[in-house]
Amino acid sequence: MKILFFSDVHGSPESMALLLDRIGRFVPDHLVLLGDALYHGPRNPLRPDYAPPAVVEQLNSLKRRITAVRGNCDSEVDQMLLEFPMMSDYATLLAGQRRFFLTHGHLWNPGNPPPLEPGDVLACGHTHIPLLERGKHGIIAFNPGSISLPKGGFDPTYGVFEDDTLQIRALRDGEVLTEMRLNG
């Protein structure tokens, strides 16, 4: 199974257009949106291309392949426009023998993990900083970064899961920036 993870869109249609290109090239079976789809939030700068209605159209075009969780900037008003559920604080996803705990990161995160088993993946966004590491108790912490408002000196990024390998890739060209074989 091929899964593409992305987070922290914050209403940027230009970033979504780049992601749609990556989706077209990678052809994932499933997409995971880890929150903060439309609103930029009071602590983030307003991007010049900020246009939530355009992002709504782009995201709704993916509605049959997407699993989404609520970010701290997502609201019931956003849900009224989106044609897929996104108001849950977390979801779980099974890919082969691998369990993913999907959350935005403002409630559950590597510093405050949910009860998971060794080898499970805690997938979250929120910090806008990509992360891929084996953490406490063998739990894999995975943050694909932000496609629109990266922080910490990083470029826009997204994540990929394929053949029991997690990767963080550059949004601009799909270059693999870091990867981890999970069964190794």
Contacts of residue 9, defined as CB under 8 A and 6 or more positions apart, other chains included, come to 15, 16, 33, 36, 37, 38, 55, 59, 147, 148
Per-residue model confidence (pLDDT) at position 20: 98
Tens digits of residue pLDDT in 103-155: 999 999 999 999 999 999 999 999 999 999 998 789 999 999 999 999 999 99
Sketch the domain layout of the chain as residue ranges. Answer: 3-181
Q: How confident is residue 97, by pLDDT bands cut at 50, 70 and 90?
A: confident
Give the pLDDT confidence score for residue 145 in this predicted structure: 98
- pLDDT, mean of residues 92-112: 95
Statement: residue 184 has pLDDT above 70: no
Q: Is the pLDDT of residue 96 over 70?
A: yes
Alpha carbon distance 97, 65 (integer Å): 20
Residues ≥6 apart with Cβ < 8 Å to 129 = 143, 145, 150, 151, 152, 154
Q: Is the pLDDT at 98 greater than 80, yes or no?
A: yes
- Residue 117: the pLDDT is 95
CATH fold of the domain at 3-181: Purple Acid Phosphatase; chain A, domain 2 (3.60.21)
Label each residue of 56-119 as H, E or C. HHHHHCCCCCEEECCCCCCCHHHHHHCCCCCCCCEEEEEECCEEEEEECCCCCECCECCCCCCC
pLDDT at residue 173 tops 90: yes
* Band of residue 55 on the pLDDT scale cut at 50, 70, 90: very high
CA 132/CA 28 separation, integer angstroms? 20
- Is this structure's pTM higher than 0.95? yes
**pLDDT score recorded for residue 44:** 85
Average pLDDT over residues 50-70: 97
